[in-house]
């Protein structure tokens, strides 16, 4: 058995052998790669790929975010919201991921950081290792995740749609 050093070019997958190419002409036998080690990896989530954003919101049919008061008309309610600076939590928000190499743990770590919690955030990702499929778990029933925005759904194997159920399986492996 011998160790062969392989180098590759920067942005493609063409492999060229080092100084000593392997010559198998006239020999009966097979060659196989037993192990490989990479000292550098590539980002799987980047702004360039348009897959670095998760769009979400609290459902407009969910919790009420305005203090319980009798505002009378809708116009009075709008004015009160502006005056008190109350956010409408049913507005869609974008969680923007920094460029990087993410698995489900790294995605969840960033989601926890975004929501400022060490507890389980309102939604997170899990992997079914038996089927090798991602799962989107929406823990807080008032949340919706919109995978029709951007391309992160392609990377994770989800359909391009809005998810509202508690457990959502990626359909594309």
Supply the DSSP symbol for 49.
Answer: T
Question: pLDDT, tens digit, for every residue of 55-111?
Answer: 999 988 764 444 445 555 555 555 554 455 555 668 999 999 999 999 999 999 999
Question: pLDDT, tens digit, for every residue of 146-158?
Answer: 999 999 999 999 9
Pairing outcome for strands 167-169 and 162-163: unpaired
Question: pLDDT, tens digit, for every residue of 4-60?
Answer: 555 555 555 555 555 666 677 777 777 777 776 666 678 999 999 999 999 999 988
pLDDT in the model for residue 13: 52
User: Are 131 and 74 contacting, i.e. CB atoms less than 8 angstroms apart?
Assistant: no
- Selected residue with higher pLDDT from 154 and 130: 154
CA–CA dist 112, 40 (Å, integer) = 27
Supply the DSSP symbol for 79.
Answer: H
């Amino acid at each position: 058995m011998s160790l062969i050093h392989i180098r590759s070019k920067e942005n493609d997958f063409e492999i060229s052998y080092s100084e000593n190419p392997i010559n198998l002409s006239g020999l009966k036998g097979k060659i196989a790669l037993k192990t490989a080690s990479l000292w550098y990896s590539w980002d799987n989530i980047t702004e360039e790929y348009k897959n670095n954003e998760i769009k979400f919101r609290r459902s407009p049919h969910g919790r009420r975010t305005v203090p319980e008061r009798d505002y009378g008309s809708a116009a009075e309610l709008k004015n009160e919201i502006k005056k008190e600076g109350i956010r409408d939590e049913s507005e869609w928000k974008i969680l923007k991921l920094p460029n990087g190499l993410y698995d489900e743990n790294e995605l969840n770590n960033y989601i926890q950081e975004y929501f400022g919690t060490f507890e389980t955030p309102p939604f997170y990702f899990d992997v079914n290792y038996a089927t090798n499929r991602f799962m989107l778990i929406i823990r807080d029933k008032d949340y919706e995740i919109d995978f029709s925005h951007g391309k992160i759904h392609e990377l994770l194997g989800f359909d391009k749609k809005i998810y509202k159920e508690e457990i959502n399986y990626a359909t594309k492996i």
